[in-house]
Amino acid sequence: MNTALLHRRCPALERELPFLRLGDGPTPVRELTGTIRNDLWCKDESGYGSGGWGGNKVRKLEWLLPEVRRRGARTVLTVGATGTNWGLAAALYARELGIDTVLALIDQPEDEHVREQQRRLRSSSATIHFTRTKLLTIAAAPWLFLRHAHGLRLPCYLPAGGSASIGVLGYVEVGLELGEQVAAGELPEPWHIVTAVGSGGTAAGLALGCALAGLRSQVLGVVVNDTLPLAASDLTRLADRAAIVLRKRGAAFGIPPLRLASTRAYLGNGYGHPTSEAAAAADVAAAAGLQLDPVYTAKAFAAALAADLDGPVLFLNTYGPRQ
């Protein structure tokens, strides 16, 4: 299916809001057995993406990269940590479209996951600047834009994680996709959907998409990043901005109230810092056939296993490694 579900729902969006399919959907759903929950399901986004990296970042790029081309930009500038999944996905998929990528990276605790990601980043053709901290990155921003301008054309800035208003539409699309899977009887309607929150776009878009699909599911965002405001109110504002984009580009449908919550209970000492709960959850997931990463999805899966949630509970696996 190459047509976006948002375009099918509102054909007027197709001309004003371009979309580029970068993976094969819908992604599968299945019940996870052998865990401490007997009502746990998974929607596995790990296989989504036809390029060098998969997972939730690709969904956002399906809307962001066409918008970059619509604006006539030749370079994107984005930010992340030294083990960024987002930055790698942006570099690989932008390269396929002839768009250059510049990454400004801040420090995170170094482990084997980060070292392997650094190897991938060096092979991605992205231009990398190690700006080390959030404040230094902000201070360096004017120089980075001028340094990587093409004539008078500055790079197009994409926020961390792709969580711009248009990037959020990637997970509005997934919420609509999930609604179709529930309607087809592939899984019961989840009472809770658990996902990692690093920049907010996945949880915000999913809540908006579920509302548009008529699902009553509450999205629980498990915060893994202590450098951004990611309370439920922040995620709701991000979803509201995405809804404004849809209306400005031609959507005429109403949007029901969002069901959205967030928790910092599984964060540990901060972004990229391991926790014993996440390590144990990753082992449980591995036994169920899921590969998780220690920074995002293992912490979210720990919440899916241990949080006091009415079922059925759906875990969204957003980690998509490639060799």
Helices (H), the chain: 5-9, 13-16, 56-70, 85-96, 112-122, 134-147, 169-183, 201-213, 232-248, 276-287, 297-306
> pLDDT, tens digit, for every residue of 142-183?
999 999 999 999 999 999 999 999 999 999 999 999 999 999
Q: Is the pLDDT of residue 253 over 90?
A: no
pLDDT given for residue 252 in this prediction: 87
Q: What is the DSSP string of 203-247?
A: HHHHHHHHHHHT--PEEEEEE--SSS--SHHHHHHHHHHHHHHHH
**φ and ψ at 134, to 5 degrees?**
-65, -45
Q: Could you give the CA distance from residue 158 to residue 219 in angstroms, rounded to a whole number?
A: 24
| β-sheet bridge partners, residue 132 | 106
SS3 at position 44:
strand
Residue 153 has what DSSP assignment? Answer: B
The pLDDT value recorded for residue 1 is 64
Mean pLDDT of 242-269: 94
Q: What is the mean pLDDT of residues 98-108?
A: 97
- pTM for the structure as a whole: 0.96
321: pLDDT strictly greater than 90: no
State yes or no: pLDDT of 283 exceeds 60.
yes
To the nearest 10 degrees (0 to 180), the angle between helices 56-70 and 85-96 is 50
List pLDDT tens digits, range 190-232: 999 999 999 999 999 999 999 999 999 999 999 999 999 999 9
63 pLDDT more than 70: yes
Q: In the predicted model, is pLDDT for residue 35 greater than 80?
A: yes
pLDDT of residue 323: 56
Closest CA to 288 of 19, 32, 2: 32
pLDDT at 308 over 90: yes
Spatial separation of the C-alpha atoms in residues 79 and 103, rounded to whole Å: 6
Quote the pLDDT of residue 52. Answer: 82
